[in-house]
Amino acid sequence: MRSGEVAVVGRPNAGKSTLVNRLIGEKVAIVSDKPQTTRKRILGVARLPDAEIALIDTPGIHRPRFRMNAAMVRDATDALAAADVVLWVVDASDRPGEGEDFTLGLLAKTGRPVVLALNKIDLVRKELLLPRIAGLASRRSFLEVVPISARTGDGVDRLARLLAGALPERPAAYPEDFLTSTPESEWISEVIREKLLERTRQELPFATAVIIEAVREEPEKPMTVVTASVVVEKESQKGIVIGKGASMIRDIGQAAREELERESGRRFFLDLSVTVRPRWRDDERFLSRVVSDAGGSGRPRPHRRSRR
């Protein structure tokens, strides 16, 4: 039996969360086409017959503009120090740049073995792929360079076996039905934020947060009632999130409720409001609340391991 932690790192929008979900066989991390969707580390466990892979999905490594972004980058670099293996995810369709240089410097400092996953190969012509692989492989020694598509699954099974083989020989660390350490309240807030990201554009997705004020059960219905606030930085953004006749916030709530009910097998009622908090991304006290999600239930997210 092999087991251990794999830190999944890379630039924003490299496809890290999509890959983690694919490896686990369940959705443990929200995904969108917006960079910086992942704001804090997420632990999810993938299992093979002879291995347990604790995957640490991390925020994208980028140049921070706000205190929130600096905390995100620290979260990613801290994960490197604790991992047994590092999985560096690179967007094969993106041009090389300074971000790769910075990440390579971080990888060199950790001393950890690194597997390079060259993602989104379904978007790259084959004649361009080999030079891209050669260019990266020439810059440091990797355990393996694996071309993959997290979206289609191409190469992901091979990647899982390589990661498992790189882990130490030791017993499994988690119960067989363990899926993720994300508390249910945090899962709810992330699902709401995902639906918001899917429906908004430009600066608005980066300037929004979701705070869970309360999660309570109404056994007589039965139903889980969630009170949550969507936080924005400007009054004009509040109007966009609410929408004409409250159409946008209603659509966000309905989409989130449907996913929560589908994943949990329970009924939900979401009471959503929108509040304005100028420059919240530089407000350390507020950021600590966003990270800890102190307002909601701390119970674990329900486990549903159905596809792997």
Ordered mean pLDDT values, 10 residues apiece, the chain (308 residues): 96 94 94 87 94 94 88 88 94 84 88 94 90 89 95 96 97 92 92 94 86 93 96 95 96 97 94 96 86 43 45
Give the whole-angstrom CA distance, residue 212 versus residue 195.
15
As a residue count, the chain comes to 308
pLDDT at 81: 86
**CB contact at 8 A, 253 and 259:** no
Query: How far is 237 from 243, CA to CA, in rounded Å?
Result: 10
Taking the C-alpha atoms of residue 178 and residue 46, their distance in angstroms, rounded to an integer, is: 10
Identify the H or E element spanning 253: helix 247-264
Terminal Cα-to-Cα distance of the chain (whole angstroms): 18
pLDDT at 21: 96
Maximum C-alpha span of the chain: 63
Report phi then psi at 57, rounded to 5: -75, 130
Helix pair 156-166, 16-24: axis angle to 10 deg: 80
Q: State the SS3 of 89-157.
A: EEECCCCCCHHHHHHHHHHHHHCCCEEEEEECHHHCCHHHHHHHHHHHHCCCCCCEEEECCCCCCCCHH
Q: What is the pLDDT of residue 306?
A: 42
Burial of 101 (0-12, 13-18, 19+ CB in 10 A): exposed
Strand order in the sheet with 51-57: 42-48, 51-57, 2-10, 85-91, 114-119, 144-147
Return d(Cα 14, Cα 37) in angstroms, integer: 11
Which residues fall within 8 angstroms of residue 54, CB to CB, at 6 or more apart? 3, 4, 5, 6, 43, 44, 45, 173, 174
Q: How would DSSP label each residue in 29-84? A: S---SSTT---S-EEEEEEETTEEEEEEE-PPP---SSHHHHHHHHHHHHHHHH-S
Number of C-alpha atoms within 13 angstroms, CB side, residue 64? 16
Q: What kind and span of H or E run contains 223? A: strand 223-232
Q: What is the pLDDT of residue 63?
A: 82
Task: Name the one residue in this structure whose structure tokens are 């979206």.
Answer: 151
**pTM as predicted:** 0.90
Q: Edge-to-edge, what's the strand order for the sheet holding 268-276?
A: 209-218, 223-232, 268-276
Q: Distance between CA atoms of 229 and 83, rounded to whole angstroms?
A: 34
* Amino acid 215: pLDDT: 95
The closest alpha carbon to 83, from 133, 142, 41, 37, belongs to: 41
